[in-house]
Structure 1
Amino acid sequence: MVSLHRTIRNLRRVGLREWWRQMQYIGDAKSGRLVGTDAFGNRYFENMDATEEIPGRHRWVDFAQHEYHASQVPPEWHAWLQHIRAHPPAEDALIKRMTQPWQAPWQENLTGTRGAYKPYNTVAPKINTWQPKVIARA
């Protein structure tokens, strides 16, 4: 439910460049408070004004990369976006306590890319392909 008045109001708030970027990436003009950023450079926003946003769409992420997908959102930010956690990770004391030094940093899902995991096979194949033998004629 995007009205012309709402679009113009958000254009004034965020500026022409950011408004154009939002229209290209998310197809909507939004303005809100910057809540935080993650290790990938994604920015997270919130707009608590009930008259401006549709219920349930007042939290959103602005991806840093042009080619983006949902696995680029770390789990703690995903929990905040989906209203599982009330406070963003930067303000949530429980998430700060849960982070352990031995934990590996979050990595996006690389399936279908060059960085995908490929196991090393040590077993000889059961079926060998036929290779023609070339013999010189006498």
Structure 2
Amino acid sequence: MVSLIRTLRSLRRVGVREWWRQLQYIGDAKSGRFVGADQFGNRYFENLNPEEEVPGRHRWVDLAQHEYHASQVPPEWHSWISHIRKDPPTEDNVMKNLSPPWKAPWVENLTGTRGAFKTYNTAAPKINAWEPKVAPRGQ
């Protein structure tokens, strides 16, 4: 009964379209405070009402892509979702003033896709195939 009331409350708060999308993507109807978004379009939420959310499940991410995996969440947001940081990157003064050491935008892990990094070998092989040396025959 509590779960039905919570689901109906979320339906009323977020609307039918967002409620249905949440059921399809995360399997649960949630409503909470919008905390921020990252460069991928992922949206981050938090609900601190202890009557509605189970402790540890009160922070969540609404991923922008349907085919998703963990590397699509940037490190600063991952630390907030995992409760390593108390404040989200949009409200944390340290994160606001921090510039990344790599000076490049965060990209997801492309292992297993066509965009995966592949090296080529520049070292000489340790074992070489036998190549016979042909000497001219004496006539």
Same amino acid, percent of matched pairs: 73
Give the alignment's TM-score, normalised by structure 1. Answer: 0.85
Aligned partners of 1:2 and 1:28 also within 8 Å: no
Cα distance 1:127–1:67, how it changes in 2: closer, same or farther (>3 A)? farther
Q: Number of aligned pairs?
A: 128
In the TM superposition, residue 66 of structure 1 has moved relative to its aligned partner by: 0.9
Is contact 1:72-1:109 (8 Å) kept? yes
In the alignment, the residues of structure 2 paired with residue 34 and residue 17 of structure 1 have an alpha-carbon distance, to the nearest angstrom, of 17
Counterpart in the other structure of 2:135: none
Consecutive unaligned residues of structure 2, counting only runs of 5 or more, are 130-139
**Normalising by the residue count of structure 2, what TM-score does the alignment of the two structures yield?**
0.84
Q: Which stretch shows the higher mean deviation, 43-52 or 97-106? A: 97-106
- Measured in 1, the distance between the counterparts of 2:11 and 2:117 equals 43
Gapped regions of structure 1 (runs ≥ 5): 129-138
- Once residues 113 and 40 of structure 1 are traced to their aligned partners in structure 2, the CA distance between those partners, rounded to angstroms, is 18
For the residue of structure 2 that corresponds to 1:3, the secondary structure is helix
Q: Which residue of 1 aligns with 2:90?
A: 90
Shift of 1:106: 1.0
Q: Distance in 2 between matches of 1:127 and 1:12?
A: 72
2:46 pairs with 1:65: no
Structure 1 residues 124 and 54: alpha-carbon distance in aligned structure 2, compared to 1, 3 A threshold: same
Q: Counterpart of 2:27? A: 27
